[in-house]
Amino acid sequence: MARAPFRRPAPLDPADAEAIEAGIDVPGDSEVAHASARLLVGHDDSHDLDALVGIIRSGGVDTVCELWSSSPATTLPGILWRLYLIHQWGVRDPDQLAKRYREGIAAPVIPGVAEGVQVGLDETLHAIGALMRGEWAAPDAPPLWSLLARSGVLLRILAAGVTFGDAWITDDTDALADYVTTRARALTRTAEELHEAARRARAGRLD
């Protein structure tokens, strides 16, 4: 399968930012990051959701996720940035992910995952993609914490393979190179952040 190109998210267009901010009165990038993240996952039922979903569907979530990239992992925009990186990894390198998943599932022990607990690669990537398309804001969407927990388990499975181990991106010139993806034990550390975010989301404390 041909490798799909990765597009590093461009800064948010001023017109798009204005559409997201309409009626919210937010003065800075951090506030816009949080406002857009809340709208995307259905935590804000204001009329601005239609504007955000329109932006996402016309240009992809990369028009807003640059604002998420500098947010801490303990925040909603910060954890959405991590999901975005997983999503783009799956779009760009599906064959590599499939190989890593097969190796991880076959490992005798998957650190941090209870015996018998598994999540599907395709199902999890599809769910993350649905979130990135703005579909998670629907009233009948599953709870966000469940997707965060599943994504954390998926990364632990990918980290258990013998060929690549816990590394995510090892080339600093790679388009996916980011603090999150190039740090030591990148997959496990991101999995830990996802599990903590799932715990916070389930308790209603992820914002």
pTM strictly above 0.75 = yes
For a pLDDT cut of 70, what percent of the chain falls above it? 75
* Among candidate residues 128, 46, 43, 152, the one with its CA nearest the CA of residue 80: 128
Does pLDDT of 117 surpass 60?
yes
Helix axes 94-106, 76-92, angle to 10 degrees: 100
Each residue of 40-98: pLDDT tens digit? 887 666 545 666 666 655 555 566 777 788 899 999 999 999 999 999 999 999 999 99
* Among candidate residues 27, 26, 25, 21, the one with its CA nearest the CA of residue 39: 21
Does pLDDT of 22 surpass 60?
no
Q: Write out the two tokens for 49.
A: 């959701």
| Residue predicted with more confidence, 130 or 7 | 130
Placement of tokens 């980011």 in the chain? 178
Each residue of 138-173: pLDDT tens digit? 777 789 999 999 999 999 999 999 899 999 999 999
For a pLDDT cut of 90, what percent of the chain falls above it? 57
Q: What residues have CB less than 8 Å from 100, skipping those under 6 apart?
A: 158, 161, 163, 164
Distance of CA 185 to the CA centre of its chain: 18
Please give the radius of gyration of the chain, using alpha carbons only, rounded to the nearest integer. Answer: 17
| Residue predicted with more confidence, 120 or 58 | 120
Cα separation, 49 vs 47, in Å, equals: 5
Q: What residues have CB less than 8 Å from 147, skipping those under 6 apart?
A: 83, 124, 127, 128, 131, 136
How high does pLDDT run on average in the chain? 82
- Cβ 48 vs Cβ 23: under 8 Å: yes
Stretch 122-130: mean pLDDT, rounded? 95
Stretch 23-34: mean pLDDT, rounded? 60
* Among candidate residues 178, 206, 207, the one with its CA nearest the CA of residue 82: 178
